[in-house]
Amino acid sequence: EPELSGDFSRLMDWVDAIKTMGVRANAETPLDAQTARNFGAEGIGLCRTEHMFFDKERIIHIREMILAANEADRRAALANLLPYQRRDFIELFKIMDGLPVTVRLLDPPLHEFLPHGAKDVADVAKALGVSDEAIEERAKSLHEINPMLGHRGCRLGITYPEIYEMQAQAIFEACAEIIQGGGKVTPEVMIPLIATKKEFSILKAVIDHAAAQVRAEKGVALDYMVGTMIELPRAALRAGEIAAGDDGAEFFSFGTNDLTQTTFGLSRDDAGRFIQIYREKAVIENDPFVTLDREGVGELVGIGVERGRAARPGMKTGICGEHGGDPASVMFCQSVGLDYVSCSPYRVPIARLAAAQAALAQRDAKEA
Ligand code: PEP
Ligand code: MG
């Protein structure tokens, strides 16, 4: 995996002495995690667990899980995925060696995993002991006209809590193994696409229950946090309620990809052509999916931080949307008091530099 050269690495040490925000990386593979560490990441700010399911051996089980007729069959398929997930997390935790790792539970709409051809359908039908037609029928029933605003994120966890149960069990069993081997691990379990406190508290209970079970079974003390993505305007506005109390979020990570999409009402998957036209016609200056829109999306981030910390003083906050690696956006993150930015591994050095510049700019502004 790539590393920084000696001189550059020394320069970056000076940079780190100035910056006050942490810089983490978005990573879910061992290669990305190791690259991130080599580039100076101080933790993983977003491990997108859905990326762990596309492997050939696993995708069949996730398809069985999605297309299962009942909870028992779903659980059977999830039981097959548990060892893979546990191994994934053990590897990541080992590489990160005690640095914080934010693991986000399954987020994308389920159709991303559905069978794509006759052979896929036949494989799943065989595994579940039903006809190809039955599988086609179930797959069709999952169709959504607007899946990015549909059955995804925490809504999956609410409809099928056994998915998050399996993932939480894998996280905590991996922690237990690391701890029993004399290692350190700091997991932060993160729930995606929260809009309401109730969603959060229901799912936090699922995660706490899994932790208690692993703790009792393995006899190890587990230290973990449960927090949420803030990526819907409602979550930013209700941040105080979402952070409050024993059933509240212990940290926030701003998902500014979805927050930009939902604030502008502009699909992140189709935005390119409008943004092109808007820029040509000087309707907008910057692509808001690249440079954080300070006025609108930024105001929501500011509200989220303020209301979250009013309910939970000193609460840890970060950003894990693409903006976390964009220098102008990093400057904004400093101004609203985020604790860290998280970006793709290759952007970590740029984010470290940007964070130092942001700290200097803030210092100069205070002195002036
Ligand atoms: C986001 O929405 O900003 C985010 C980080 O999550 P994802 O890109 O996986 O939706
Ligand atoms: Mg998102």
Ligand 1 centroid – CA 256 distance (Å)? 7
pLDDT in tens, 90-129: 999 999 999 999 999 999 988 889 988 899 999 999 999 9
Q: What is the DSSP letter of 288?
A: T
Residue 63 pLDDT > 90, yes or no?
yes
Pocket test for ligand 1, best of 24, 47, 48, 341 (most atoms within 8 A of CB): 48
Q: How far is CA 132 from CA 65, 141, 144, 238, in A?
A: 16, 14, 21, 45
Ligand 2 centroid – CA 230 distance (Å)? 9
pLDDT at 29: 96
Provide the token pair at 131.
């006809």
Q: What does the DSSP assignment read for 124-142?
A: HHHHHTS-HHHHHHHHHHT
pLDDT in tens, 272-285: 888 999 999 999 99
Find the DSSP H helices in 19-160: 30-38, 56-67, 71-96, 118-128, 132-141, 154-159
Sign of the alpha-carbon torsion through 121, 123, 127, 130: positive
Length of the chain (residues): 368
pLDDT at 115: 86
Q: Locate the ligand 1 atom nearest the alpha carbon of residue 320 and give its number.
A: 5
3-state secondary structure of 22: strand
Q: Locate the ligand 1 atom nearest the alpha carbon of residue 257 and give its number.
A: 3
pLDDT in tens, 231-284: 999 999 999 999 999 999 999 999 999 999 999 999 999 988 889 999 999 999
Does the C-beta of 321 come closer than 6 Å to ligand 1? Answer: yes
Q: What is the DSSP letter of 368?
A: -
Provide the token pair at 331.
């400057």
pLDDT at 111: 86
Sign of the alpha-carbon torsion through 140, 142, 144, 147: negative
pTM: 0.96
